[in-house]
Amino acid sequence: MKDTDTDSMAWHKGTWWPLAVKEWYAPKASQHMFDPYSLCLLVLGLVFHLLWGTDDIDNWVYGFLLAIGLELVWEIIGNSKFVLKRIRDNSGTSGEYIGDSIQNILGDLVSCALGYILGTVFAAVELWWLSLVVVLLVELGLVLYMRDSLVLMIVTFVIRSEKIRNWQLCKIPEAAGQKSWKQWMFSPVVKKSC
């Protein structure tokens, strides 16, 4: 059996069908083009547009390319061994996370692009504040659905919180599991206290 701490390889082959899955936990998360985390990238695209976007048709493409470029850089950094280990250790939803598949990376880029384009449309019709509404609604929906969101991902990446980790872990169905083989073999049996 593979040791996910040392043998994981980023940008691995995932699967094309189905294009989207509802699971946010292993083994399906980040293996298909879209999963619930794709909504986090849509939010990120909206946030990028709020930060530097414009509705000027002649200039919006520069901000768009910057947003996609930053997302691509994050995909490279976010699939490094250090970051993968940090995510697995700190997030209750990612105990078996092995990194993004090529299909999921493409889906993440598309989601971020759609978020930026949506922000541009809102700005063009002078309803830029709708970007804030969508960001808040999506973040709230994700927290209710999977106990994770863009804000929570950033918080759990920077700060290890056992309370947040356990709270997130309680949402994962028992059958899905979220432990590596080392955790199954060498950690004491702990009941979920949800």
One pLDDT digit (tens) per residue for the chain, 194 residues: 344 444 444 556 777 788 888 988 877 788 889 999 999 999 999 999 999 998 887 889 999 999 999 999 999 999 999 999 999 898 888 878 888 999 999 999 999 999 999 999 999 999 999 999 999 999 999 999 999 999 999 999 999 999 999 999 998 887 555 444 344 444 444 455 66
pTM for this one?
0.84
33 within domain boundaries: no
Specify whether the CB–CB gap between 85 and 5 falls below 8 A. yes
Residue 141 lies inside a defined structural domain of this protein: yes
Q: Does residue 144 sit within a domain?
A: yes
Domain-located, residue 4:
no
Contact 118, 191 (CB under 8 A): no
**Secondary structure class of 34 (helix, strand, coil):** strand
93/25 Cα distance (integer angstroms) = 6
Contact 172, 88 (CB under 8 A): no
Residue 51 is assigned to a structural domain of this protein? yes
Side-chain-side CA neighbours of 149 within 13 Å: the count stands at 15
Q: Cα separation of 61 and 120, whole Å?
A: 10
φ/ψ of 142, rounded to 5, equals: -65, -40
Cβ atoms of 34 and 4 closer than 8 Å = no
Q: Does residue 15 fall inside a structural domain?
A: no
Total structural domains within the chain: 1
Task: Give the residue numbers spanning the domain of 98.
Answer: 38-186
- Is 111 contained in some domain? yes
- Does residue 171 fall inside a structural domain? yes
